[in-house]
Amino acid sequence: MDIYQVFMVMLSFGTFIIALLTLIIRMINKK
């Protein structure tokens, strides 16, 4: 597997994790 492909996968996965954490934090703050 190419290093560039691994980097792109990590970048997209990281963005997904950040979006998920942001959603969880918003739900916690609403309480």
Task: Kindly indicate the confidence band of residue 11, based on its pLDDT and cuts at 50, 70 and 90.
Answer: very high
Element spanning 14, H or E: helix 3-30
Q: What tokens does 16 get?
A: 């997904």
DSSP single-letter state for residue 31? -
Q: How far is CA 24 from the centre of its chain?
A: 12
Domain count along the chain: 1
The range of the structural domain enclosing residue 22 comes to: 1-31
Q: CB-based contacts of 8: which residues, under 8 Å, 6+ apart?
A: none
Rounded-to-10 torsion of CA 13, 15, 18, 22: -130
The reported pTM is 0.60
Task: Kindly indicate the confidence band of residue 25, based on its pLDDT and cuts at 50, 70 and 90.
Answer: very high
* Rounded average pLDDT over 12-31: 96
Q: Does residue 6 register a pLDDT over 90?
A: yes
- Distance of alpha carbon 2 from alpha carbon 20, whole angstroms: 27
Instruction: Provide, rounded to the nearest whole percent, the portion of the chain with pLDDT above 70.
Output: 97
